Structure 1
Amino acid sequence: MRPPFEVYVSGVRQEPGVDFEVADGVLLFERELRKDHISGWRWFLGAWGVGTYRQDDSVDIRYQRDGRTLVAEGLEPEVLDD
């Protein structure tokens, strides 16, 4: 997608040039984004009402196409090797 678009991390709007950069069609964030993967054990505990909470970032992008506002939701962050 091409600008203009809005980027949100865990529901909080991010500002281009401040919170992220765009390079080669990829959003680059200065801070580390994490995706929490729930193990079988944590799922079992949750089924019994025992909560375990960890950082679980998701990236959403809001953009326009053919005059309609669309949202790409729940995009998973990836770690890029230097």
Structure 2
Amino acid sequence: MSKEPRRETFVRLPGDVQRPFQVFLNGVEQQEGVDFVVRDGNLVFERELAQERLGVGRWTSMVFGIAGSYGKDDAVDVVYERDGRPAVAAKLRFEQLD
């Protein structure tokens, strides 16, 4: 058994998100209590998520079609209602806490 500390990923919910809402990670619906919990206005995933960081050289090579993007780039989206209409908060930013 590994004694490594578990890393958590926190995703801040936009201020206008109210229940009920749906959470998607890379297009796959996630279940509250199984895949994440809601704590203090954040979605908390008990695993490390990653967003690809592109440097100038990598970005330039992608623009000119020299290279593609193969890094890990997780996306968290939340579907909810705002003023009685469907709304989506897409590709929410997240942070890691050790």
Q: TM-score, normalised by structure 2?
A: 0.74
1:59 counterpart residue number: 76
Q: Do structure 1's residue 46 and structure 2's residue 59 form an aligned pair?
A: no
- Deviation above 6 Å: which 4+ runs of structure 1? none
2:31 counterpart residue number: 15
Does the Cα contact within 8 Å between 2:18 and 2:81 map onto a contact in 1?
no
Q: 2:53 aligns with which of 37, 46, 50?
A: 37
What percentage of aligned pairs have identical amino acids?
48
Shift of 1:3: 1.3
Root-mean-square deviation (Å): 1.4
2:9 counterpart residue number: none
Q: Do structure 1's residue 6 and structure 2's residue 2 form an aligned pair?
A: no
How far does the alpha carbon of each residue in 1:12-50 deviate from its partner, in whole angstroms, 9 at most, with x for none?
A: 111101110001111000121101011112113223422
Cα 1:72–1:52 change in 2 (3 A) is closer
Q: TM-score, normalised by structure 1?
A: 0.87
How many residues were matched structurally?
Answer: 81
Structure 1 unmatched ranges of 5 or more: none
Does the Cα contact within 8 Å between 1:58 and 1:77 map onto a contact in 2?
no
Structure 2 unmatched ranges of 5 or more: 1-16
Does the Cα contact within 8 Å between 1:35 and 1:56 map onto a contact in 2?
yes
Shift of 1:80: 2.8
Q: In the aligned structure 1, how far is the partner of 2:74 from the partner of 2:58?
A: 18
Does the Cα contact within 8 Å between 2:78 and 2:89 map onto a contact in 1?
yes
